[in-house]
Amino acid sequence: MKNDIAISVRGLTKRFGGFTAVDDISFEVDRGEIFGFLGANGAGKTTAMRMLCGLSYPTSGSGTVAGYDITRQAEEIKRHIGYMSQKFSLYEELTVSENLTLFATIYGMTDRAIKEKSAEVFRMLEMENMSGTLVKDIPVGWKQKLAFSAATMHSPDVVFLDEPTGGVDPLTRRKFWEMIYRASSEGMTVFVTTHYLDEAEYCNRISIMVDGRIKALDSPQKLKEEYGAATMDEVFRIVAKGAKRGD
């Protein structure tokens, strides 16, 4: 990455026909930052994230991710990011080890690097004796940690996590956040969407999207001060009040 800015967008907009899903958003994310991307259902988070990952072309506006232009260098962006979806993106009918190898191969790693990195992941997750187990047979908490490891095997500059903790119990979620912190302390930038407002407290900064626009953006502490709220849940309710989209 050229400098310490991992993500930078200016006036990013996406229209589907006459409907504006993402409406003129601008923000920057520092290298190594954990950036929470919040918003009610339909606010435009996924649409914005797809543009940042080089998967969808903006109607207008500009931006860079890991130093690459989101409109002109989508292929480079794909090589320098990791992505973990809500469904953990793993193949249930493949073993733990086969899943890691598959992702690493897609990300262009050499056989030797895959072997070394897989061994490191198994050690770190204490999963050495599970490498031959089918993913469908391992508990959800392991699946989640494995999916994160698969998405970051190639040491991407930025990892995008789309509701990575959906449907997972609080203790497992906490453990998952320890992995996020470790990745960030090693310089990886983490861009994460979540519906759990307690998790918003773990982020360095939070943006709250309402009806396609960013309505609030700051650290959890500053947002609570600004809105006179005790929790992020309260901040969210104040900011999202009057939203036309969502439930």
Site for ligand ATP in 14-33 (CB under 6 A): 16, 19, 21
Is residue 43 a contact point for ligand ATP (CB under 6 A)?
Answer: yes
Q: Distances from the Cα of 234 to the Cαs of 99, 198, 200, in angstroms?
A: 40, 11, 12
Query: Which of 44, 54, 164, 220 is the binder for ligand ATP (CB under 6 A)?
Result: 44
Which member of 32, 42, 67, 141 binds ligand ATP (CB under 6 A)? Answer: 42
CB-nearer residue toward ligand ATP: 187 or 246: 246
**Rounded-to-integer distance, Cα 206 and Cα 195, Å:** 12
57 scored as a contact of ligand ATP (CB under 6 A)? no
Binding to ligand ATP by residue 180, rule CB under 6 A? Answer: no
Candidates 23, 36, 45, 239; binder of ligand ATP (CB under 6 A) is 45
What is the C-alpha to C-alpha distance for residues 118 and 120, in angstroms, rounded to an integer?
5
**Buried b or exposed e, range 70-83, using 16+ CB within 10 angstroms:** beebbeebbebbbb
Nearer to ligand ATP, 128 or 247 (CB): 247
Q: How far is the CB of 37 from ligand ATP (least distance, A)?
A: 9
Instruction: Give the CA radius of gyration of the chain.
Output: 18
Measured from the CB atom, is 21 or 179 closer to ligand ATP? 21
The closest alpha carbon to 7, from 205, 148, 213, belongs to 205
Tell me which residues in 216-245 interact with ligand ATP (CB under 6 A): 245
Q: Does 210 bind ligand ATP (CB under 6 A)?
A: no
Site of tokens 């900011």: 239
Nearest to 65 by CA among 200, 160, 194: 160
Coil, helix or strand at residue 88: coil
Contacting residues toward ligand ATP, per CB under 6 A: 16, 19, 21, 39, 41-47, 245
